Amino acid sequence: MSSNEVYEKHMLRTTGEVSRLNGQFNLISENLGYQIHPTIGARLPENARIADIGTGTANFLIKVAPLYPKGTLHGYDISKSFFPSEVPSNVELSILDAREPIPEELEGTYDLVHVRMLAMGLLESDWRTVVANLSRLLKPGGALQWEECNFLAWSEGGFYPESTFQALHTIEKLLIGTFAPRFKIGWNTLAGDMEAAGLAEVGTEVVGSDRVKSTLGPYTANSMCVCFQWARSGKDSIPFNEEELNELEAQCWRDIGSGGYVRFDIHVNWGFKSL
Ligand SMILES: C[S@@+](CC[C@H](N)C(=O)[O-])C[C@H]1O[C@@H](n2cnc3c(N)ncnc32)[C@H](O)[C@@H]1O
């Protein structure tokens, strides 16, 4: 198996996944209300050096580039499969495995290191090392900002008394149950890992994926895309045949049409390297 086995074992790298990731990123940002937490933004110089780890489609850097036209923005990922063909002139994308010791020439060079949703690429035993690795990228006074979702806090509901959500419940329970060992860590351990890495002023904010009500339908649809892509990928065994899966998916879209939705919590964690 390749060195990126952890992510690739369960996740897809298709062109459809690029637009799903972009949609997911935008919906999370809309609920957060920012790309860079205001506590960090207030301290960033206009020529900030910013790294995004597990950058995927580089959506974070593409959104941040116009805010820091004098900044230097570097995206790193274990694979270039999601990299866009064009990026703003102050953005560069490269390969880096966050689980490996970081190259010496990058140590102490960034004002901000950002990470969003790396959980599927990490095992429980990786987190502390990865947080320590990424903290080493920071300049004195620099910040690490990291968003992970607590999918274990998911629930479903409906906008209207007649809304249905049983099919949404069934597929979401299957996906989250399968990945529960992965989802039980990260969102709740990052603050401790940041402190262990020597970061100060460690903070956490929890925002519901339903803070902005208009995102609930699109976010539920986005979640269904990942659920059914995964269920059909054959990467894990599931208790449905193709016909049952088709029926379940059709019912999920009817659930969404009726006002049914799923929601969970988004955890933002940050810490600063001492001056
Ligand atoms: C769920 S995607 C999130 C992408 C992006 N951060 C976003 O929020 O849209 C996870 C990304 O992490 C990358 N990844 C997985 N394991 C990694 C590792 N060990 N080091 C660096 N990147 C990794 C994957 O290739 C993928 O692009």
Phi, psi of 210 (to 5 degrees): -110, 20
| CA 7 – ligand 1 centroid, Å | 8
Residue 2's pLDDT is what?
Answer: 47
Q: What is the CA radius of gyration of the chain?
A: 19
Beta-ladder partners of 205? 268
Strand order across the beta sheet in which 72-77 lies: 91-95, 72-77, 49-53, 110-116, 138-158, 260-273, 199-208
Residue 99 Cβ < 6 Å to ligand 1: yes
Quote the number of domains for the chain: 1
Residue 118 Cβ < 6 Å to ligand 1: yes
Residue 20 Cβ < 6 Å to ligand 1: no
Residue 262's pLDDT is what?
Answer: 96
Question: Measured between alpha carbons, how far is 165 from 253 in angstroms, rounded to an integer?
Answer: 10
Question: Low-confidence residues of the chain, pLDDT below 50?
Answer: 1-2
Residue 72's pLDDT is what?
Answer: 98
How far CA 256 is from CA of 24, 90, 168, 198, 222, in Å, comes to 17, 40, 8, 45, 11
Asked whether 74 and 52 are in contact (CB, 8 A), the reply is: yes
Tens of pLDDT, residue by residue over 175-184, are 999 999 999 9
Tens of pLDDT, residue by residue over 136-151, are 999 999 999 999 999 9
Residue 11's pLDDT is what?
Answer: 77
Inter-axis angle of helices 166-178 and 242-257, to 10 degrees?
120
Residue 56 Cβ < 6 Å to ligand 1: yes
Question: Domain of 26: which CATH number?
Answer: 3.40.50.150
